[in-house]
A and B are shown apart, each in its own frame.
Chain A
Amino acid sequence: AQSVTQLDSQVPVFEEAPVELRCNYSSSVSVYLFWYVQYPNQGLQLLLKYLSGSTLVESINGFEAEFNKSQTSFHLRKPSVHISDTAEYFCAVRNNNAGNMLTFGGGTRLMVKP
C-alpha cells in the first residue's frame, strides 16, 4: 500500500516571501506524483505533475516541485508568494500499476499575509 504525508497542516507566510510545502510518500513501486490546489469554495485543480524525466517540474504560476527518489519526497516551492496563492494544497501519488487511483496527503493550508 502507498501513503502520502504532508508534514505541515498550515503554513503562514508573508507576501513576497519564499515558501516550501513538504510532501513525502511511501510506495514499493515507481510512481506518478501530483500537486493539486483547492482555492476557497472550489474543487481541486491540478497544479503540476511528475511522470518521468527531469526531476524538476514547474507550473505556469511560478510553483515548482522536485522529485527526490532517494528521499521519497516531492516538495512544492515558490520563491515569492502572492495573496492569491492562499489555498489548500494536496500532494497525491499514483503508482503506475494502479489504474487511475490516487492516494492523497492530508493537505497543507497556505495562508499568505500582506
Chain B
Amino acid sequence: DVKVTQSSRYLVKRTGEKVFLECVQDMDHENMFWYRQDPGLGLRLIYFSYDVKMKEKGDIPEGYSVSREKKERFSLILESASTNQTSMYLCASSLPGTGPNEQYFGPGTRLTVT
C-alpha cells in the first residue's frame, strides 16, 4: 500500500521561529511536492523536487525553502514563520516523466503561527 507520511498533524509556532515540515514516501518516487491549502484557494504549489538535491519553485515559493537529501524525504522550511503562513500543508509524491502519473498525498500538517 502506497504511503506518504508527514511528521506532524498539528503544529503551533511563534512568529519568527524556524519551522521544519518533514515528508517521507515509501514508493521510491522521484517527484515530490509541497502544497499549501487555504479555503477557497484550493492547493497551491510551493516547491517541487524531481530528484535528490534538485528543486524547482512553484507558484508561491516566497518565504519557504526546501531540502531533499534523500530520495524518500522532502523537507519544507519556513526560515522565519509569519502569521500569513498559517495554513494546511500537504506533501505529495509521484513517478517521474510526462505521463499522467497520479500524485499521492500525505494527511497534511495544520500549521498555526501565532
B100/A99 in contact, CB under 8 A: no
Please state if B103 and A100 are interface contacts (CB–CB under 8 Å).
yes
A17 adjacent to chain B (CB < 8 Å)? no
Contact with B41, one of A46, A51, A102, A106 (Cβ below 8 angstroms): A106
Using a Cβ–Cβ cut-off of 8 Å, how many residues does chain A contribute to the interface with B? 28
Question: B61 contacts the other chain (Cβ, under 8 Å)?
Answer: no
Stretch binding the partner chain, chosen from B14-22, B64-72, B73-81, B91-99? B91-99
Residues of A contacting B31 with CB < 8 Å? 99-100
Our pick among B58, B94, B105 for the contact of A100 (Cβ within 8 Å) is: B94
What chain A residues lie within 8 Å of B58 (beta carbons)? Answer: 101
For window 3-35 of B, CB contacts with A under 8 Å fall at 4, 31, 33, 35
**Cross-chain pairs A/B with CB under 8 angstroms, 11 sampled:** A46-B103, A49-B100, A90-B42, A100-B94, A100-B98, A101-B45, A101-B48, A101-B58, A102-B45, A105-B42, A106-B42
User: A32-B100, A99-B50, A101-B33 provided; 8 other pairs, C-beta below 8 A?
Assistant: A90-B42, A90-B43, A102-B45, A102-B103, A106-B40, A106-B41, A107-B39, A107-B42
Q: Which residues of A are in contact with B by a Cβ distance under 8 Å?
A: 4, 6, 9, 32, 34, 36, 41-46, 49, 51, 90, 92, 94, 96-102, 104-107
